[in-house]
């Protein structure tokens, strides 16, 4: 009775307040989970369900579709090549890079190939940085993009990412990772684990990238289905069965023959029958049209979406060597742009891990703050080197003639020569280094006597 009295009093006096609080609590929980399911932050971001589907389909295509595997491998083969090495002109910085690069928990020379593969498939990398406070070295690990369902950014700056939410198996809440903060403005400790995010094919107004396989996934699927249908048609086109006709069959004869011929005769066997038994092969009436043009159109859609010519997919077509070289030029430009991004990512990663070591007092920053990073990477093609060498040789010969006739100054000549050689270097810096080198190696001068001494022979 007391319990019911309390309920009646609560309903009479506080019903509106209780109802408002319950609705507010439900709304908070509902908004929380709807936001996690949606996951869209930028105006041009896809819904989380669509992102998850694309990532799953891309991984499945890479695992099962030879064309998808080859497209991803081609990008890595040209972007990474034989490997990438990052060095520094500063000896102490270079020693730090070497320890980070070749540490057994990082082993970057082997990790680069997998990083490029994942970047091509998923369109983004989420790299976890764990710094050892004892020596300042940072170890890197990766979170699959399919497990990052939400990115929290600055409300006033979409490119300033603050946190990343990871879905964990068996956990409803998941886990939040803080983004790397170069200025440690949010109270971040350099020993804390943080995440760095790099993305390609990211439109303006989006926080997530897209893999190179995403636009061609429907066409990869259609080509696989078309090819499976063609295999089935060709299989059944050559298949046949035997129709056995019994003349003047008595009751039970057909059943006995069915038992007798339960297993069909093997090819090349000899059948002996009398005039009451007739064997006739029956072929399916399948009209198999010539499908070469259809298959080529589907492959062209896949190749165009991947930005590669068909002869990169082991299809020679009827193109000559010159035509194939012209068709490959846009592809090499695409690989070159991707290589530039990959090199930027690696150098930025080295800047971050070095800054974390500096924050812990385990490394020093050069006076000018410049780490003087350089890279060594395999050229995309040997033909590019030959073209650059020929262009540099021709322009240097022309510039020498112009300099001899006083038609050009040193700074302009050096600038043009380096441009045709494919290098972007400040010509003033080159002139300064040449002068310093001449000063260091200038031979010592000796004062020569004005007249030779006269030597008189003693008599």
pLDDT, tens only, 155-177: 888 889 999 999 998 888 889 99
| Residue 453 in this model has a pLDDT that exceeds 70 | no
Contact present, 161 and 207 (Cβ < 8 Å): yes
Query: How many Cβ atoms are within 10 Å of 210's Cβ, its own excluded?
Result: 21
Query: How far is CA 416 from its chain centroid?
Result: 35
pTM of the predicted protein model: 0.70
Contact present, 297 and 248 (Cβ < 8 Å): no
Contact present, 129 and 193 (Cβ < 8 Å): yes
What local confidence, expressed as pLDDT, does residue 315 receive? 73
Query: How many Cβ atoms are within 10 Å of 408's Cβ, its own excluded?
Result: 16
| Residue 304 in this model has a pLDDT that exceeds 50 | yes
Phi, psi of 397 (to 5 degrees): -65, -40
What local confidence, expressed as pLDDT, does residue 20 receive? 67
Greater confidence, 319 or 315? Answer: 315
Contact present, 62 and 121 (Cβ < 8 Å): yes
Quick one: 69 exposed, middle or buried, by C-beta within 10 A (0-12, 13-18, 19+)?
A: middle
Query: How many Cβ atoms are within 10 Å of 220's Cβ, its own excluded?
Result: 24
Contact present, 58 and 122 (Cβ < 8 Å): yes
**Following DSSP, what letter does each residue of 209-224 receive, concatenated?**
---TTGGGHHHHHHHH
CA distances from 178 to 34, 129, 193 (A): 22, 11, 8
Residue 67 CA neighbour count, 13 Å, CB half? 27
How many angstroms separate the CA atoms of 15 and 9, rounded? 9
pLDDT, tens only, 379-413: 776 666 667 777 778 888 888 888 888 888 878 88
| Residue 419 in this model has a pLDDT that exceeds 70 | yes
Structure tokens at 190: 């350099």
Greater confidence, 271 or 357? Answer: 357
- Percent over 70 (pLDDT), the chain: 78
Query: How many Cβ atoms are within 10 Å of 134's Cβ, its own excluded?
Result: 8
CA distances from 220 to 118, 225, 300, 315 (A): 19, 9, 11, 16
What local confidence, expressed as pLDDT, does residue 318 receive? 54
Where exactly are the structural domains of the chain? 30-217+308-380, 218-264+274-307, 382-438
What local confidence, expressed as pLDDT, does residue 418 receive? 76
How many angstroms separate the CA atoms of 102 and 104, rounded? 6
| Residue 38 in this model has a pLDDT that exceeds 70 | no
Q: How confident is the model at residue 9 (pLDDT cuts 50, 70, 90)?
A: low
Contact present, 282 and 244 (Cβ < 8 Å): no
């Amino acid at each position: 009775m007391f319990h019911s009295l309390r309920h009646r009093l609560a309903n009479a006096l506080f019903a509106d307040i209780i109802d408002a609080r319950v609705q507010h609590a439900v709304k908070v929980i509902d908004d929380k989970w709807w936001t996690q399911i949606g996951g869209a932050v930028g105006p041009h971001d896809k819904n989380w369900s669509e992102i998850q589907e694309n990532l799953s389909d891309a991984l499945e295509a890479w695992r099962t579709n030879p064309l998808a595997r080859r497209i991803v491998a081609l990008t890595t083969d040209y972007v990474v090549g034989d490997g990438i090495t990052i060095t520094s002109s500063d000896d102490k910085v270079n020693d730090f890079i070497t320890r980070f690069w070749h540490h057994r928990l990082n082993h970057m020379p082997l990790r680069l190939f997998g990083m490029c593969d994942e970047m091509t498939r998923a369109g983004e990398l989420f790299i976890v940085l764990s710094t050892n406070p004892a020596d300042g070295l940072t170890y890197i690990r990766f979170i699959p993009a399919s497990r990052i369902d939400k990115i929290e950014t600055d409300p006033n700056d979409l490119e300033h990412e603050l946190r990343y939410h990871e879905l964990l198996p068996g956990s409803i809440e998941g886990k939040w990772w803080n983004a790397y903060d170069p200025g440690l403005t949010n109270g971040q400790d350099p020993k804390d684990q943080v995440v760095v995010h790099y993305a390609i094919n990211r439109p303006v107004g989006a926080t997530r990238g897209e893999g190179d396989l995403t636009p061609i996934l429907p066409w990869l699927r259609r080509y696989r289905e078309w090819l499976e249908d063609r295999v089935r048609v060709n299989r059944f086109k050559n298949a046949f069965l035997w129709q056995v006709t019994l003349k003047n069959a008595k009751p039970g004869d057909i059943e006995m023959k069915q038992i007798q011929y339960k297993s069909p005769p093997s090819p090349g066997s000899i059948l002996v029958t009398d005039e009451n038994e007739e064997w006739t092969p029956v072929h399916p009436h399948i009209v198999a049209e010539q499908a070469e043009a259809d298959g080529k159109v589907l492959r062209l859609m896949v190749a165009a979406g991947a930005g590669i010519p068909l002869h990169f997919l082991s299809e020679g077509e009827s193109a000559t060597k010159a035509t194939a070289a012209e068709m490959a030029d846009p592809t090499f430009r695409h690989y070159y742009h991707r290589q530039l991004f990959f090199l930027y990512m690696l150098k930025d990663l080295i800047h971050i891990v070095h800054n974390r070591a500096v924050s812990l007092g385990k490394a020093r920053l050069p006076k000018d703050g410049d780490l003087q990073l350089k890279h060594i990477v395999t050229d995309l093609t040997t033909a590019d080197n030959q073209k650059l060498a020929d262009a540099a040789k021709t322009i240097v010969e022309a510039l020498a003639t112009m300099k001899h006739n006083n038609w050009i100054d040193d700074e302009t000549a050096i600038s043009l020569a380096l441009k045709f050689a494919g290098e972007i270097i400040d010509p003033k810096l080159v002139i300064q280094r040449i002068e310093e080198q001449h000063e260091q190696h200038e031979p010592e001068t000796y004062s020569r006597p004005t007249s030779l001494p006269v030597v008189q022979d003693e008599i």
